[in-house]
């Protein structure tokens, strides 16, 4: 069974296919394909992302928005960047759009009469912060001011209606952007529901939230989009009953895994690898192909960097020794 990227209906097979830079998109009818193309053409282009991993910048601490801290770009995906506050750990990484008003070049805080603060949960003694800050910025690669973009103006009114399609960040797993539908509208608030799931990930947000995007935004920004019913659950859902929690049991022999089985296993093993889901689909990496992969292949033919390639290679021996034992994935 397959799911249409536009209407989310489940069909035995999908006849209409649209090749894209991030993998093929499948549709159940010419109408759905046409509507998808129209939505892309009428939407403004996403902002250009010129940030690079390792660059330093200033960012508001998401857990204490009155503090501005120094941060490092950890990853770049589409028009978004993954940030880590210096002095914090990877458990508190967060994502921002490149045109967010919450990020600035180094020196912005001081120029406007402020002082850089240690992040909430700073791992060292507070008295060591000035020396830590000095060492952190010395010889560091500063993100140039020209790559910081102005945040766009907010729409003046809420024009959303129940049933409208969109793409939205999964707030439980913020590295993911998923196919979603407007489930309800109340004043300036909209209720985001994720197609194929029973409320475990749904949430209310303001109509001008920067966590929601028009259909086609991921396609234009080259950001992976999680399709309906195939979104990887990276942590237990807290708002569903046990009988409603999505379950997936993989075949005992990894060589029998489908492409989606492989993606499901890798993403659950390491949530940071979920950004490569579409890449695995594009290269049709099923169980048999996974068992043959090595780091050189992934870097040369799939374009992965050494770090992610080594992480995936490290997962392969863990499954080759467990054939026929069965895999029960949450």
Apex 265 CA angle, 263 and 268, nearest 5:
105
pLDDT of residue 229: 61
Q: What would the mean pLDDT of 6-28 be, rounded to a whole number?
A: 72
User: With 50 as the cut, is the pLDDT of residue 32 above it?
Assistant: yes
Q: Say which range, 17-31, 204-218, 291-305, has the weakest mean pLDDT.
A: 17-31
Q: Answer whether 200's CB lies under 8 Å from 241's CB.
A: no
Q: Say what percent of the chain tops pLDDT 70.
A: 85
> Is the four-CA dihedral 277, 283, 289, 292 of positive or negative sign?
negative
The pTM score is 0.57
Q: Which domains can be identified in the chain, with CATH numbers? A: 2-45+155-221 (2.30.30.140), 56-147 (2.30.30.140), 248-329 (1.10.150.50)
pLDDT band for position 78 (50/70/90)?
very high
User: With 50 as the cut, is the pLDDT of residue 232 above it?
Assistant: no
Q: Answer whether 118's CB lies under 8 Å from 61's CB.
A: no
Across the strands, what pairs with 190?
185, 205
Q: Please tell me the distance from the alpha carbon of residue 154 to that of residue 157, in angstroms, as a whole number.
A: 9
Q: For residue 300, which phi and psi values (nearest 5 degrees)?
A: -80, -45
Nearest residue to 308 via CA among 299, 321, 316, 317:
299
Q: Is 63 helix (H, G, I), strand (E, B) or coil?
A: coil
Q: What would the mean pLDDT of 270-276 be, rounded to a whole number?
A: 78
pLDDT band for position 231 (50/70/90)?
very low
pLDDT of residue 330: 42
Question: Which run of H or of E encompasses 297?
Answer: helix 295-301
Mean pLDDT of the chain: 81
Q: Say what percent of the chain tops pLDDT 90.
A: 30
pLDDT of residue 39: 57
Q: What would the mean pLDDT of 230-234 be, rounded to a whole number?
A: 43
The predicted-structure confidence for 89-148, as pLDDT tens digits, reads as follows 888 899 999 999 999 999 999 899 988 888 887 877 777 888 888 888 888 899 999 999
pLDDT of residue 243: 35
Residue 170 tokens, joined:
């999964």
User: Residues with Cβ < 8 Å from 186, sequence gap 6 or more?
Assistant: none
What do you get for the CA distance between the two ends of the chain, in Å?
21
């Amino acid at each position: 069974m397959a799911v249409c990227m536009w209407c989310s209906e489940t069909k035995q097979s999908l006849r209409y296919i649209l090749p894209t830079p991030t993998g093929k998109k499948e549709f159940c009818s010419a109408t759905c394909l046409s509507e998808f193309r129209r939505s892309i053409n009428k939407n403004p282009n996403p902002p250009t992302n010129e940030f690079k991993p390792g660059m330093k910048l200033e960012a508001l601490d998401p857990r204490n928005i009155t503090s501005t801290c120094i941060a490092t770009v950890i990853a770049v995906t589409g028009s978004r960047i993954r940030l880590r506050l210096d002095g914090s750990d990877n458990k508190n990484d967060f994502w921002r759009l490149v045109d967010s008003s919450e990020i600035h070049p180094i020196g912005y805080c001081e120029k406007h009469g402020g002082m850089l603060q240690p992040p909430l949960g700073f791992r060292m003694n507070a008295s060591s912060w000035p020396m830590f800050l000095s060492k952190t910025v010395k010889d560091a690669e500063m993100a140039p001011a020209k790559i910081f973009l102005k945040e766009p103006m907010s729409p003046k009114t809420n024009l959303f209606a129940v049933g409208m399609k969109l793409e939205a960040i999964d707030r439980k797993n913020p590295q993911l952007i998923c196919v979603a539908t407007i489930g309800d509208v109340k004043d300036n608030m909209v209720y985001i529901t994720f197609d194929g799931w029973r409320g475990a990930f749904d949430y209310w947000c303001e109509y001008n939230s920067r966590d929601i995007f028009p259909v086609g935004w991921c396609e234009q920004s080259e950001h992976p989009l999680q399709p309906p019913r195939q979104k990887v659950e990276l942590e237990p859902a807290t708002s569903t009953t046990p009988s409603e929690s999505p379950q997936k049991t993989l075949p005992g022999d990894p060589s029998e895994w489908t492409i989606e089985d492989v993606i499901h296993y890798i993403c659950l093993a390491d949530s940071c690898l979920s950004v490569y889901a579409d890449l695995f689909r594009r290269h049709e990496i099923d169980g048999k192909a996974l068992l043959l992969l090595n780091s050189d292949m992934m870097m040369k033919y799939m374009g992965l960097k050494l770090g992610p390639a080594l992480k995936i290679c490290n997962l392969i021996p863990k499954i080759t020794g467990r054939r026929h034992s069965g895999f029960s994935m949450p």
